[in-house]
């Protein structure tokens, strides 16, 4: 079968459409918090959640019992919930008369702990329930049993569902699980990023071609009885294979789209990772070993088809959609019994009888059993429903039970429909009621600024922290300690940069995942002997190689195995001491500078020349054994020119040393091929060097934007700290999830260093002055990093600090250290380490240090758990308020932003990052298995880019339970991000309206938007049901923010 171009495009388009709802999965080295329903963000939240539940078989809201627990704790706005019930009922036309449904729904929501108060069923109807309520027998569905069964089966067996799923459900086979295992193994072989000692061959050709080549000779497949050769011979391309298998399976063409969607979403972790690779043009492994979702799907389809064939051969199970359809149509009774038995829904008392009957395969007996079973099932379902309704009515009280019993069957049908629809919608109602509570709480907490005039008092130091919720604690404590002013800014400080760290081979993108940095910054050591490798590092390298090799462990265990026990014992018994000891063995990282300024063409050319000359010197030594002292600079220059084709050979060196033409030609080939001294490569490198650094205009723009966006355009203090943040933990694949989300899951220090370098530059300051931003001569921008696991703030680039500032460093350090200890004292008890630490900051700080180095610690810190608010506005709104580390704080002064451009930047960058973080946590709590990644305890690293549960599973996306649950209950309270923007309402609306993406998020309810209008007497307007409504009067009387609080008062 040869596919036309149109067919290929059709398959491609179908895969593309099917993959849209699947969230991209970033490698865990740079864990990106993201909305698992990102692909559905064009829909309103509730609709998207329903669609996500269908696609990923996941829950979208918490269990009812948990919301009830929140209600008992006072975290639900009852009034809001009642209003939602009334609105729900008002939208219905089928409310049965005589039943106080408002009371019913209220009782059901608040008093019934079961997740479904009234379970449905295939046989439940008003007549049956009415009979059961009267204690009468429910009519047997004997008449027209076959059509009824066909209708039931049609609801369960859609032609869009994979055939193996139907076969598993009807025959109790495990083809789906086996297929998942085989696909996982194939993916692990191909996508490995260096974890395996032996790599799969032929990966450069792409996923499907490489897999196909291996599969033909794969003994594992042969042993399973999978005949892949014949299938693989039918089609060459991945698209062709998909089309071929779909046709052989007899899937109608109109169902292909749905079928492909089911197949891709079944393992959405792997599919999401492949999606990420497809879109990440810079990703090294994707460039080297390309793979697409079409390849993935083709592998899955071929394996699934072969497994079905194998099942058909050995067990006589259907091997195609048409055979399944035929069974459902011809033998609905047998199919129904199978569906009940193997689907796990059979009545327990009937399980053995049904199993026995099916095993005997006598049609008459099967038909009789199906009729009897259906009758029993109908009886059971209707009685159960009647009992549930009666229990509800009794709970409602008064005359509800009598009213229920008096309902006609048709009205009972209406009642059941209303109850069923309410139960489907109830989670969303609870969510809104919970959000309403948090909105009220926020409105009560914020206060109007003490004065509208901007203060001229010069603080001792100003500190720009990331908007991250963990910064809130540190900022609060720092401000309480003394003369510090703090600001919130996205942790990449508004500078999207590609960063090549010294000693690293690949570029990291330090900016929100939605952006792609144009500029590259290099970290260059200020002084280092590159040839020298410290002894311990070299030893460690050797040990690593020994471990990774296939054969060496056989001998190495006896020889050096004992060495590893030192680490084992040290890390387990004295993690902190062991860490300190090891740190002493490692060489210190050298002092470095950032290559930040844009290179002009001459400088770029000079750098390339210098590198190429160094390479030629190395090549001469390695290839021709000619030491440096026998070669002059002119020789090297001349060799370079000859290699690049700028000059003709023979080279000066060849002539001088009497090299033959062949030897020189061979050497030049090596220079071009191996050492990349080639004209085309040089041209490429020139292009890449063009990315390095920022022009002076760009630097001025970034500094201006960073300062104005947080409202800092005057009154600069002596120190302006640019505090990036990072986390520190051992044995934790999720470590980067605790790093800076605004830096793409990286550590934001390079961005802080870059901004500090720019802002300290005299030329930049001169141009800023021209724009009205006057930075005093004695102001020094100092980069720092806040370790959120230990609460320590470490200052960087101190060697650049002017001498006159050094006098003040001690005061700065002691202030920061005190704030660190106070933060630890507030934070550590929340980790369940005992409340006494709240009063002992030193002990709390010591324990925080231990947590960071304890390799058995599954929860080194709570990270961003419990985040709920994003406040975009002046710090004076929340200064002195304990926001419990639950708020993203973005400083913003609308008075400096007449055109709304700065607000646009905040809404498109930090707010979207906040929304992703918030929804990642939300969904990881509401469904810890499908959206979250389950327990960390069972995780294993897969291919160095993700984790799996056990030794083989789909890639686990989302957050682990240890991040969001405490003692089995949600620690993170899942509500959507409540974003409060301080700006005039009309101005805020206009700004949001200009950004389509943000407007979709706000209007779709992915973010709950509140506008605090300073020009409307600080009233809060909330967007609800498509319109802004004024929240009850929010601004409290003017109050001065507290300062210099003692520890007890703030914690």
Partner 1 sequence: MGIALVVLATLFVPLFPGSWVFNRLVAGLPAGLAQGLAVLVLPQLGLEVLHLTPQAPLELAAWRPWGMGWAAVSALLYAVRALSARDVGIWSRLMLSSGLGLVWFVWWTGAPTEVLRIFALSWSVPAAVALFLAGALVDRMGGACVGLQGGLVEVMPRATTGLVLAGLALTATPMFPAFFSLWRGLVAVAPAWAMMWLPLIFLWGWAAGRLFQDLLFGDYRGESVTDVGVATIAAIGLLLAGSLALGLGASGGLS
* β pairing state of 1007-1013 and 1019-1024: antiparallel
Tokens in use for 189? 């072989």
What is d(CA 348, CA 366) in angstroms, rounded to the nearest whole number?
A: 18
Least Cβ distance, residue 384 to partner 1 (angstroms):
8
What is d(CA 782, CA 753) in angstroms, rounded to the nearest whole number?
A: 8
Least Cβ distance, residue 346 to partner 1 (angstroms):
7
Least Cβ distance, residue 929 to partner 1 (angstroms):
9
Least Cβ distance, residue 323 to partner 1 (angstroms):
25
Give residues with Cβ within 8 angstroms of 565, minimum separation 6: none
DSSP 911: I
Contact 299, 208 (CB under 8 A): yes
Among 21, 57, 56, which Cα is nearest to 39's? 21
What is d(CA 998, CA 991) in angstroms, rounded to the nearest whole number?
A: 10
Per-residue mark of binding to partner 1, 102-131 (x: CB under 8 A): ------------x-----------------
Binding positions for partner 1, 780-809, rule CB under 8 A:
none
What is d(CA 927, CA 961) in angstroms, rounded to the nearest whole number?
A: 10
Binding positions for partner 1, 824-883, rule CB under 8 A:
none
Q: What does residue 903 show for φ and ψ, rounded to 5 degrees?
A: -65, -40
What is d(CA 442, CA 617) in angstroms, rounded to the nearest whole number?
A: 66
Question: Per rule CB under 8 A, is residue 349 in the interface with partner 1?
Answer: yes
Cβ proximity to partner 1: between 100 and 355 the closer is 355
Number of H helices, E strands in the chain: 43, 19
Least Cβ distance, residue 405 to partner 1 (angstroms):
24
Least Cβ distance, residue 49 to partner 1 (angstroms):
21
Contact 465, 487 (CB under 8 A): yes
Cβ proximity to partner 1: between 387 and 556 the closer is 387
Among 665, 675, 660, which Cα is nearest to 617's? 675
What is d(CA 935, CA 929) in angstroms, rounded to the nearest whole number?
A: 9
What is d(CA 810, CA 814) in angstroms, rounded to the nearest whole number?
A: 6
Cβ proximity to partner 1: between 346 and 724 the closer is 346
Among 1012, 967, 766, which Cα is nearest to 873's? 1012
Cβ proximity to partner 1: between 349 and 573 the closer is 349
Q: Which of 351, 611, 806, 1040 binds partner 1 (CB under 8 A)?
A: 351
Stretch that binds partner 1, among 192-200, 279-287, 348-356, 833-841 (CB under 8 A): 348-356
Per-residue mark of binding to partner 1, 64-103 (x: CB under 8 A): ----------------------------------------
> 588 has which bridge partners?
none
Stretch that binds partner 1, among 347-355, 535-543, 566-574, 751-759 (CB under 8 A): 347-355
Cβ proximity to partner 1: between 255 and 347 the closer is 347
What is d(CA 213, CA 211) in angstroms, rounded to the nearest whole number?
A: 5
Strand, helix or coil for residue 207: helix
Question: Per rule CB under 8 A, is residue 315 in the interface with partner 1?
Answer: no
What is the helix (H) or strand (E) element at residue 476, kind and residue range?
helix 469-481
Least Cβ distance, residue 480 to partner 1 (angstroms):
47
> 500 has which bridge partners?
522
Tell me whether the omega of the peptide bond preceding residue 650 falls within 30 degrees of 0, making it cis: yes
Q: Which of 26, 104, 208, 350 binds partner 1 (CB under 8 A)?
A: 350
Least Cβ distance, residue 348 to partner 1 (angstroms):
3
Question: Per rule CB under 8 A, is residue 347 in the interface with partner 1?
Answer: yes
Binding positions for partner 1, 11-40, rule CB under 8 A:
none
Least Cβ distance, residue 354 to partner 1 (angstroms):
10
Contact 725, 791 (CB under 8 A): no
Least Cβ distance, residue 119 to partner 1 (angstroms):
9
What is d(CA 888, CA 872) in angstroms, rounded to the nearest whole number?
A: 8
Q: What angle do CA 960, 490, 892 make, to 5 degrees?
A: 130
Binding positions for partner 1, 993-1012, rule CB under 8 A:
none
Question: Per rule CB under 8 A, is residue 557 in the interface with partner 1?
Answer: no
Least Cβ distance, residue 115 to partner 1 (angstroms):
11
Cβ proximity to partner 1: between 200 and 347 the closer is 347
Least Cβ distance, residue 151 to partner 1 (angstroms):
24
Cβ proximity to partner 1: between 344 and 1046 the closer is 344
Cβ proximity to partner 1: between 345 and 951 the closer is 345
Question: Per rule CB under 8 A, is residue 348 in the interface with partner 1?
Answer: yes
Per-residue mark of binding to partner 1, 352-391 (x: CB under 8 A): x---------------------------------------
DSSP 133: H
Least Cβ distance, residue 81 to partner 1 (angstroms):
25
Contact 703, 764 (CB under 8 A): yes
- Token pair 């975009």 is found at 872
**Judged by CB under 8 A, how many residues of this single chain contact partner 1?**
10
Cβ proximity to partner 1: between 63 and 730 the closer is 63
Tokens in use for 841? 């900051």
Stretch that binds partner 1, among 160-168, 342-350, 768-776, 866-874 (CB under 8 A): 342-350
Cβ proximity to partner 1: between 354 and 703 the closer is 354
Question: In Å, how far are 476, 607, 619, 625, 643 from 631, measured between CA atoms?
Answer: 63, 21, 12, 11, 16
Stretch that binds partner 1, among 214-222, 338-346, 901-909, 1035-1043 (CB under 8 A): 338-346
Stretch that binds partner 1, among 340-348, 859-867, 898-906, 998-1006 (CB under 8 A): 340-348
Least Cβ distance, residue 865 to partner 1 (angstroms):
24
Least Cβ distance, residue 345 to partner 1 (angstroms):
8
Stretch that binds partner 1, among 39-47, 63-71, 349-357, 711-719 (CB under 8 A): 349-357
Q: What end-to-end distance do the CA atoms of the chain give, in Å?
A: 72
* β pairing state of 719-726 and 592-595: unpaired
Tokens in use for 400? 């509800």
- Binding residues for partner 1, rule: CB under 8 A, are 114, 344-352
């Amino acid at each position: 079968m040869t596919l036309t171009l149109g067919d290929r495009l059709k398959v491609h388009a179908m895969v593309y459409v099917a993959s849209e709802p699947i969230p991209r999965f970033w490698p865990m080295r740079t864990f990106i918090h993201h909305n698992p329903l990102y692909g559905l963000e064009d829909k309103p939240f509730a609709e998207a959640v329903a669609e996500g539940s269908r696609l990923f078989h996941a829950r979208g809201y918490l269990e009812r019992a948990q919301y009830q627990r929140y209600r008992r704790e006072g975290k639900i706005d009852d009034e809001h919930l009642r209003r939602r019930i009334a609105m729900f009922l008002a939208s219905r036309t089928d409310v049965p008369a005589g039943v106080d449904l408002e009371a019913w729904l209220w009782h059901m929501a608040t008093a019934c702990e079961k997740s479904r108060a009234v379970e449905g069923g295939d046989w439940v109807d008003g007549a049956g329930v009415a009979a059961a309520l009267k204690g009468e027998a429910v009519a047997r569905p004997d008449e027209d049993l076959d059509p009824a069964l066909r209708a039931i089966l049609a609801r369960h067996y859609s032609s869009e569902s994979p055939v193996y799923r139907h076969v598993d459900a009807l025959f109790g086979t495990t083809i789906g699980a086996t297929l998942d295992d085989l696909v996982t193994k194939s993916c692990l072989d191909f996508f490995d990023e260096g974890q395996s000692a032996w790599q799969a061959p032929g990966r450069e050709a792409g996923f499907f071609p490489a897999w196909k080549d291996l599969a033909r000779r794969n003994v594992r497949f042969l042993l399973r009885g999978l005949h892949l050769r014949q299938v693989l011979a039918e089609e060459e391309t991945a698209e062709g294979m998909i089309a071929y298998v779909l046709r052989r399976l007899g899937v109608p063409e109109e169902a292909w789209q749905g079928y492909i969607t089911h197949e891709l979403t079944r393992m959405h972790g792997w599919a999401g990772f492949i999606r990420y690779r497809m879109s990440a043009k810079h990703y090294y492994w994707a460039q080297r070993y390309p793979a697409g979702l079409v390849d993935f799907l083709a592998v899955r389809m071929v394996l699934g088809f072969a497994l079905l064939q194998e099942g058909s051969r050995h067990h006589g199970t259907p091997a195609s959609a048409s055979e399944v359809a035929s069974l459902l149509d011809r033998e609905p009774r047998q199919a129904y019994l199978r569906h009940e038995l193997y689907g796990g829904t059979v009545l327990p008392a009937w399980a053995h009888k049904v199993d026995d009957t099916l095993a005997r395969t006598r049609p008459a007996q099967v038909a009789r059993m199906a009729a009897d079973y259906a009758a029993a099932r109908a009886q059971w379902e209707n009685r159960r429903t009647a009992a549930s309704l009666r229990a509800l009515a009794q709970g409602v009280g008064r005359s509800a039970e009598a009213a229920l019993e008096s309902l006609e069957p048709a009205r009972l049908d209406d009642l059941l429909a209303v109850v069923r629809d309410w139960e489907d919608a109830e989670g969303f109602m609870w969510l809104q009621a919970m959000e309403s509570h948090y909105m009220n709480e926020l409105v009560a907490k914020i206060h109007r600024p003490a004065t509208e005039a901007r203060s001229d008092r010069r603080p001792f130091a100003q500190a720009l922290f990331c908007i991250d919720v963990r910064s809130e604690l540190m900022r609060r404590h720092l401000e309480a300690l003394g003369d510090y002013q703090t600001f919130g800014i996205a942790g990449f400080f508004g500078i999207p940069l590609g960063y090549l760290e010294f000693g690293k081979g690949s570029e990291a993108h330090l900016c929100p995942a939605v952006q792609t940095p144009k500029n590259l910054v290099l970290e260059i050591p200020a002084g280092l002997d590159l040839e020298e490798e410290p002894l311990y590092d070299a030893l460690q390298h050797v040990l690593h190689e020994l471990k990774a090799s296939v054969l060496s462990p056989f001998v190495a265990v006896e020889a050096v195995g004992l060495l590893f026990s030192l680490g084992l014992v040290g890390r387990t018994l004295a993690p902190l001491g062991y860490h300190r000891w090891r740190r002493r063995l490692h060489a210190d990282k050298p002092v470095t500078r950032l290559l930040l300024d844009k290179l002009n063409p001459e400088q770029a050319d000079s750098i390339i020349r210098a590198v190429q000359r160094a390479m030629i010197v190395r090549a001469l030594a390695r290839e021709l054994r000619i030491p440096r002292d026998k070669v002059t600079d002119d020789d090297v220059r001349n060799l370079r020119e000859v290699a690049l084709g700028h000059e003709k050979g023979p080279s000066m060196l060849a002539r001088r040393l009497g090299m033959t033409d062949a030897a020189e030609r061979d050497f030049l080939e090596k220079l071009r091929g191996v050492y990349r001294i080639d004209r085309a490569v040089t041209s490429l490198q020139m292009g890449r060097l063009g990315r390095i650094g920022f022009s002076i205009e760009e630097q001025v723009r970034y500094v201006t934007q960073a300062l104005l966006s947080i409202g800092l355009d005057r009154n600069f203090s002596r120190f302006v700290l640019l505090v990036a943040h990072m986390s520190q933990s051992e044995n934790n694949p999720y470590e980067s999830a605790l790093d800076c989300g605004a830096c793409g899951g990286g550590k934001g220090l390079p961005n802080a260093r870059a901004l500090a370098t720019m802002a300290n530059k005299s030329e930049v300051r001169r141009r800023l002055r021209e724009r009205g931003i006057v930075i005093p001569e004695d102001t020094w921008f100092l980069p720092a990093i806040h370790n959120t696991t230990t609460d320590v703030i470490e200052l960087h680039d101190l060697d650049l600090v002017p001498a006159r500032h050094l006098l003040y460093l001690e005061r700065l350090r002691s202030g920061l250290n005190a704030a660190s200890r106070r933060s630890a004292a507030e934070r550590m008890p929340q980790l369940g380490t005992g409340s006494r630490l709240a009063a002992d900051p030193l002990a709390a700080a010591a324990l925080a240090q231990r947590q960071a180095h304890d390799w058995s610690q599954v929860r080194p810190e709570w990270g961003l758990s419990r985040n709920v608010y994003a406040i975009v506005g002046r710090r004076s709104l929340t200064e002195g308020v304990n926001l419990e580390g639950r708020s993203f704080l973005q400083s913003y002064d609308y008075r400096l932003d007449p055109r709304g451009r700065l607000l646009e930047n905040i809404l498109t960058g930090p707010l979207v990052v906040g929304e992703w973080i918030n929804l990642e946590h939300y969904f990881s709590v509401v469904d810890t298995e499908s959206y979250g990644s389950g327990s960390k305890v069972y995780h294993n690293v897969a291919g160095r880019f993700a984790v799996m549960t056990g030794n083989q599973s789909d890639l686990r996306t989302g957050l682990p339970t240890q991040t969001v649950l405490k003692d089995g209950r949600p620690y993170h309270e899942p509500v959507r991000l409540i974003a409060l923007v301080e700006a005039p309402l009309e101005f805020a609306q206009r700004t949001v309206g200009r950004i389509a993406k943000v407007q979709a998020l706000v209007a779709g309810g992915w973010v709950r938007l509140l506008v605090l209008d300073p020009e409307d007497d600080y009233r809060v307007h909330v967007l609800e049901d498509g319109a802004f409504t004024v929240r009850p009067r929010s601004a409290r009387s003017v109050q001065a923010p507290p300062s210099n609080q003692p520890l007890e008062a703030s914690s």
